[in-house]
Amino acid sequence: MDFLDYQTYALGDSSENDNQLPEPASRLKFQSQRSFVELDKPFTLPSSKPTEFINDNNGTLQEKMQRYASMSLDQLGSAATSLLTGADLPVPFGGALPRDGNLKQLLESSDSTPNSADSLLSKKLSRVLGAHGRPSSISAAQLEKSFMILEDNRENLNFHSQAITRPDFVGSLARKSLRSALENELLRSHLTLIEDIQPIVGRIKRLTPPITTIKHISDEILHGSSCNKKDSALNMEGIYALRKKMKELQLQKQLLSIIREKLTLTQVEEEALINAPIDTDFFEVVNKLMRIKETSSHLLALENPKAGQSLLQQTNMKLSGASKRIYNYLINFFYDLQSASKTFGERAFASDDRSLINFQKSMIYMSNDLPLFNEVLKKIVRLRSQRVLDDFLSQFDVDPSKNSRPIVMSAHDPVRYLGDVLAHVHSLIVDEADFMNSMFKFQDLKIEGTPKSVLQENGDYLNGLGTNLLNETFKPAENSIRIRLEQIIRFEDDPSINFDICELLKLYQMMFIKYGIDPEGSFIRQLNTLKNNSGDKVMSGLLTLMNEHVPEEKIGLELLPSDWLLNYMTNLCKILSKIEKSGNAETSNYLIESDFLQKTLDTLIIERLPQYYQTHFPLAKKDKEEKVKLLIFEINSLDLILTRLLPFGLILDGHESGCRKELQNAIKTLVTLESGVLLERLGMDIYSNLLNMIFPIDSVEDELDYDMYLPVSENPIMKIETIRANVYDKLNGNLPNLNSDVQDALVLNVVSPTIADEIANSCFKNLSKFYKVFRETLVRLYPNSIDDIFSILNFTSEDFDTIVGVV
Amino acid sequence: MTGSRTGKSLTKYKIVFLGEQGVGKTSLITRFMYDTFDDHYQATIGIDFLSKTMYLDDKTIRLQLWDTAGQERFRSLIPSYIRDSHVAIVVYDVTNKKSFEYIDKWVEDVKSERGEENVVLCIVGNKNDLADERQVSTEEGERKAQVLNAKIFIETSTKAGFNVKNLFRKIAKTLPEFQKSDTVPLDDKFPANKPDVIDITTNNDDEEQTSCQC
């Protein structure tokens, strides 16, 4: 490649200005390039004057040039040159540019003033073109290629073909610039090439000695006679061994790098562990430490566990430091919370509160260090317990200035006082449960990056932590609560009130358990003890009432039930009514299922009342009248009991049957006694005894039964005259008033008219039956003295029934 | 320290629900809390408790709802809960005249425990969707509320979800927290987006309520 040299193609009349022009860059010397071709044939410019040419293709180059020049000038002449601006116009050789002239004028002027520039240009072109035809010069293809390259890089080189071809100074300058640009471009490309080659050269130089050595060695191996086969084999094995060892070392290095990354903390992490706030960054480091700990346990399985032990020791130390930091954070957090609550009132966290999440995360991490974790819990419990206790006790402070509504013990309504206390405790429990649930609800917490083991191992415990803390929080307050309740329960003797207390405690136990209080915990146990105490006092209160009758108490003539029995039954019925109100048996199971009714009812009927009768009717066994009184009193008492128990049939479930049986026995006995008294009044008692001894009167049913009595005729009292003496007067004297007398006496004493009627009816029925059997027996005994018999027993059976009122 | 580390200050208000058995006290609370309604009646045993954070007019408060049992056997417990309540909501069933008549007794209990001034008394006529079975007219309810000096009277339907939020909004507006104009909002973030907060600022049950603010 060569450079075009238009150096001399400059203005001929400006030799002075030539010196001011930039010096052309020195020509690059490439040995491979051919030097400039010399022109030996002069070139003459074709005439610019218009000439007529014959249109043929023949002629010399000079002629062709002449023809084309002429044609070009014609074209130019005909074209309007007015469009050309001053800058585009060719500069005349005189140096002054004809601003408003046309090209023709310019050519004419140039023609008229031929100068040395023309001749120089001619010379140059002749050299360029003249060399065209020579074999040694640049081939046409090469030239074309060169121009095409120029054309392609037109923009890069800032190449203006018009300016370059201008013969004036501007042209010269443009050409010089082009040359300079071309040289720069070429230099740059060469430098790039050299730079590209440089490393290759360097490498070649570096590799040359070893390659030469290898070449020598190989030459020696291939051609040397001193080396034998065995040696070469040994060497190869050595090489393989070394290569293997190298690979092993590389793997070892890789492994060690990974281990270092996995098992050690970076400086930033170390710093975060010690100084960063308890937040995400800190937890990330702790996570890493935990992972290291997990991994280090694998190292312990190695033959030499020293590395594992050492790593584990270090990690544990760091984790312990982290735990202490978390511990301090948690304690501070709770103290802040507590003091803020005291100063600014109740605090609350939204579930997505960042500080709350941080706190919960800290608790989770803390759970790995059980001693510290327990310490934190203890402190939390202590703070919360204090708050609960203060709050509880404040309810009893009477401070008019605070417009407070304290819980005041009311003598007439102890149940209300207990209700207020328990309701306040209930409110404290739900408040605390609410707080604990908001603070210690871990199951919804997503802790990214936390080693699974933390949540897996401690998950169950952590999830129940709120409830556990709630129970722990109430432990210190338990005694105060118990004392407040006990001071009422201990001194309350009314069984009905105790029953209410018992029910109240039972209900609150259920409600407390509902909000998280442990059913097996000490608080519920204490409430249960109080409940049982009051339950027991229901029983003992009733038994006291049962036993508290005054020995000197006298029974009135009316034979009405005693006051103590009335009082006892009133209380018992109150309780039964409450049991019934409580809805169903299951809410009062403990009363129904236990021996409550047995103790309260059966004992009364089987033990207490007979004792009472014995005390107050000591002569009843001897004195018939006393016995009747006793029986009437017994009937009245039992009737009272049964009447009072009547509405509670469902609860009693047959327990009153014993009482009913006793009543029936008493009535039966009274009927027997009264019947005897009536027979005595009629003078027939001895005959009744006699006949009953042979065959019970009640059992007489048909005619043949009367035959059983035939042997009595041998008895002297059965003589008609004796019978007349014994019976007639009494029968006729007493029978008409017998009914009214008996009715009056019974109604007066037996409270229940139904029972009184029943007794009277039974007595008269017995009397009637006996009269009938006695009369019939006598008729059969003395068939010949029927008139006498009818004169003694002068009432027919029907008349007798009518008089005594038996239907 | 009032920073976020120690949470936000939150005033708690106790609201006690009173009324005869089966008037809809529990369902009123359930509708407010969970926006649900259960057709199956289940009697409340003892006293139930629920709490919810409520957002209104840029302020957040915590409501503690005490749901009492209407059954006779639990009556003795109720005064202990009225004792320290800020709001008493006496509920009756518009289809049950007797439950309406018993309002007087409940209001008397409230007044004997809290006096006339220390409690916000609300009278709520529930089940107003059962128009065919209505036994107590709205006018009767309003008159009764006026006579008893109740601050709020409203008819609701827990089944249809009618006026329930309205009731709580009215109650909230009577509370001291919302009476103070200079109270600083407790939370700069809009808490209604949080899952544990009920926002009653927007009237979701936009139904025209037939009630008066006595």
A732 dihedral zone (left: phi>0; alpha: psi -120 to 50; beta):
alpha
Phi, psi of B5 (to 5 degrees): -60, -30
Query: And the tokens for A36?
Result: 């400039």
Give the DSSP H/E element, type plus range, for residue B16: strand B11-19
Interface test with A, best of B4, B64, B75, B80 (most A CBs within 10 A): B80
Interchain contact, A353 vs B4, CB within 8 Å: yes
| B12–A344 C-beta distance less than 8 A | no
CA distance A741 to A108: 185
Rounded to a whole number, what is the distance in Å from the CA of B128 to chain A's nearest CA? Answer: 30
The answer to whether B126 touches B159, Cβ cutoff 8 Å, is no
Domains of chain B, by residue range, sit at 12-178
pTM of full prediction above 0.80: no
DSSP B162: B
* Neighbour count for residue A729 (Cβ, 10 Å): 11
Q: Which of A156-165, A275-284, B41-50, B73-82 has the lowest mean pLDDT?
A: A156-165
Q: Which two tokens stand for residue A760?
A: 């009277």
Do residue A511 and residue B2 have CB atoms under 8 angstroms apart? Answer: no
Chain B residues in contact with A507 by the CB 8 A cut-off are 45-46, 74, 77
B50: closest CA of chain A, how far (Å): 9
CB-CB neighbors (< 8 A) of A508 in chain B: 46
Q: What is the sign of the dihedral through the CA atoms of B28, B79, B76 and B109?
A: negative
Is B10 within 8 Å of B186 (Cβ atoms)? yes
pLDDT greater than 90 at residue A452: no
What are the chain B neighbours of A511 within 8 Å (beta carbons)? Answer: 46-47
What are the residues whose beta carbons fall under 8 Å from the beta carbon of A308, sequence distance 6 or more? A296, A297, A298, A299, A300, A301, A302
What residues of A are in contact with residue B6 (Cβ under 8 Å)? 333, 336-337, 340-341, 347, 355
Task: Tell which residue, A260, A259, A331, A319, has the closest CA to residue A286.
Answer: A319
The C-alpha atoms of residue A579 and residue A588 are separated, in whole angstroms, by 6
Q: How confident is the model at residue A446 (pLDDT cuts 50, 70, 90)?
A: low
User: Which contacts of B189-197 are long-range, i.e. CB under 8 A and separated by 24 or more positions?
Assistant: B191/A350, B191/B53, B191/B55, B191/B60, B192/B55, B194/A350, B194/A351, B194/A352, B195/A351, B195/A352, B196/A350, B196/A351, B196/B52, B196/B53, B197/A350, B197/B52, B197/B53, B197/B54, B197/B55, B197/B60
Q: Nearest CB to A348: which of B8, B83, B195?
A: B8
Q: Which residues of B touch A426 (CB under 8 A)?
A: 47, 49
- In this prediction, residues A746-764 reach a mean pLDDT of 81
Q: Nearest chain A residue to B72 by CA: give it.
A: A581
**How many CB pairs (< 8 A) connect A and B?**
104
Cross-chain CB nearest to A333 (options B5, B9, B71): B5
Backbone φ, ψ for residue B104 (5° rounding): -55, -40
Instruction: Note the pLDDT tens digit of each residue in A230-254.
Output: 555 567 788 888 999 999 999 999 9
Chain B: residue nearest A345 by CA? B9
Interface contact A350-B83, CB threshold 8 A: no
Residue recorded with tokens 């020195």? A26
Cross-chain residue pair A347–B9, CB shorter than 8 Å? yes
What integer pLDDT is reported at residue A676 of this predicted model? 84
- Show which residues on chain A lie within 8 Å of chain B, measured between beta carbons: 333, 336-337, 339-341, 344-356, 405, 415-416, 419-420, 422-424, 426-427, 430-431, 434, 500, 504, 507-508, 510-511, 515, 581-583
Instruction: Give burial (CB, 10 Å; 0-12/13-18/19+) of A155.
Output: exposed
Q: Does B49 sit within 8 Å of A430, measured CB to CB? A: yes
> Which residues share a beta bridge with B107?
none
Strands B47-56 and B59-68: antiparallel
Contacts of residue B9 in chain A, CB cutoff 8 Å? 344-348
Distance, in angstroms, between B139 CA and closest chain A CA?
A: 36
Is B196's CB within 8 Å of A353's CB?
no
Report strand pairing: B47-56 vs B152-155.
unpaired
Query: Distance, in angstroms, between A517 CA and closest chain B CA?
Result: 15
CA A347 from chain centre, in angstroms, equals 21
> Is A344 close to B9, i.e. CB distance below 8 A?
yes
pLDDT digits 0-9 by tens, A468-508: 889 999 998 899 999 989 988 888 888 888 888 988 898 89
* Residue in A with minimal Cα distance to B113: A405
Residue A96's alpha-carbon distances to A15, A93, A99, A168, in angstroms, are: 16, 7, 9, 11
- Whats the size of chain A, residue-wise? 807
Residues of B with CB under 8 A from a CB of A: 1-2, 4-12, 14, 45-47, 49, 51, 53, 62, 64, 71-74, 76-77, 79-81, 83-84, 187, 191, 194-197
pLDDT of A309 over the 50 cut: yes
Nearest chain A Cα distance for residue B8, angstroms? 5
> Number of C-alpha atoms within 13 angstroms, CB side, residue B171?
33
How far B126 CA lies from chain A's nearest CA (Å)?
26
pLDDT at A758 over 50: yes
| Alpha-carbon gap, residue A778 to A783, rounded angstroms | 8
Cβ contact, residue pair B77, A419, below 8 Å:
yes
User: What span, in angstroms and rounded, lies between the C-alpha atoms of B41 and B26?
Assistant: 10
Across the interface, do B6 and A352 touch by the CB < 8 Å criterion? no
Q: How crowded is residue A225: how many other Cβ atoms within 10 Å of its Cβ?
A: 6
CB A794: neighbour CB atoms within 10 A? 13
Top pLDDT among A633 and A227 is at A633
Res A455 pLDDT > 60: no
User: A196: buried, middle or exposed (CB in 10 Å: 19+, 13-18, 0-12)?
Assistant: exposed
Q: Which of B97, B80, B82 is nearest to B20 (CA)?
A: B97
pLDDT in tens, chain B (214 residues): 444 456 666 788 999 999 999 999 999 999 999 999 988 888 888 899 998 888 877 778 889 999 999 888 888 889 999 988 999 999 999 999 999 999 999 999 999 988 877 889 999 999 999 999 999 999 999 999 999 999 999 999 999 999 999 999 899 888 887 776 544 444 444 444 555 667 666 554 444 444 444 3
Is residue B151 within 8 A of residue B214, CB to CB? The reply is: yes
Distance of alpha carbon A438 from alpha carbon A23, whole angstroms: 90
The three state secondary structure string of A142-156 is HHHHHHHHHHHCCCC
Q: Does domain B12-178 sit in CATH 3.40.50.300?
A: yes
* B2 contacts A423? CB cut-off 8 A: no
Is B46–A507 a contact, with Cβ atoms under 8 angstroms apart? yes
DSSP state of A607: I
Q: Taking the alpha carbons of A746, A750, A754, A755 in that order, is the dihedral positive or negative?
A: negative
Contact residues on chain B for A351, CB-CB shorter than 8 A: 194-196
> What is the spatial order of strands in the sheet that B59-68 belongs to?
B152-155, B120-126, B87-93, B11-19, B59-68, B47-56, B197-199
* Chain A hits for B185, Cβ within 8 Å: none
Q: Do A419 and B76 touch (CB under 8 A)?
A: yes
**ipTM for the whole complex:** 0.85
pLDDT band at A14 (very low <50, low <70, confident <90, very high): very low
Residue A335 has pLDDT above 90, yes or no: no
- Asked if A351 and B73 come within 8 Å (Cβ–Cβ), the reply is no
> Which of A58-67, A247-256, A257-266, A395-404 is predicted most confidently?
A247-256
Asked if the Cβ–Cβ distance from A420 to B45 is below 8 Å, we say no
**C-alpha dist (Å) from residue B6 to A144, A355, A390, A441, B186:** 88, 8, 21, 17, 13
Please report the pLDDT score of residue B105 as a whole number. Answer: 94
Among A432-436, A581-585, B8-12, the range with the most confident prediction by mean pLDDT is A432-436
Confidence check: pLDDT of A132 > 70: no
Chain A: residue whose CA lies nearest to B54:
A350
